[in-house]
Amino acid sequence: MIEEFDFRSEEQGKTDKTYEIALRPKHLEDFANERSPHSLVHFLKELAADFHSFYETNPVLVENDTVANSRLIITKATQIVLQNGLELLSVKPLSKM
């Protein structure tokens, strides 16, 4: 269960926003219903920037399984939200760079 993982460990300030946004796909539905593509673009850009900052300072694969699992969940949730948002915009994301 997600509740078992500590998303706000030692890097609380850095993970709060990623946690907040990545686990809130409801935003995507709201933007689609409002027909507000510019708001969706800004949301996705902010999410990508926040995740980039998180990823730079928080190694995902670490010795502590609880920390590693929580960071993997954040990573996967962010991927899903970005993918869904790009699909709403009819943008095909790159599979790799």
For 5-22, the pLDDT digits (tens) are 444 554 555 456 555 665
Task: Say what the pLDDT of residue 17 is.
Answer: 59
Task: Say what the pLDDT of residue 77 is.
Answer: 84
Is position 59 within any domain? yes
pLDDT in tens, 46-97: 888 888 888 888 888 899 998 888 888 888 888 888 888 888 889 987 878 6
Is position 58 within any domain? yes
Closest Cα partner for 70 from 6, 14, 16, 18?
6
Q: How many domains does the chain have?
A: 1
pLDDT in tens, 26-40: 776 777 788 878 888
Distance CA 90, CA 55 (A): 26
Token representation of residue 4: 């078992």
Instruction: Give the orientation angle of helix 26-34 with respect to helix 65-88, to 10 degrees.
Output: 10
Is 95 strand, coil or helix?
Answer: coil
Full 3-state SS string of 31-65:
HHHHCCHHHHHHHHHHHHHHHHHHHHHCCCCCCCH
Task: Say what the pLDDT of residue 53 is.
Answer: 86
Q: What CATH number is associated with residue 50?
A: 1.10.730.10
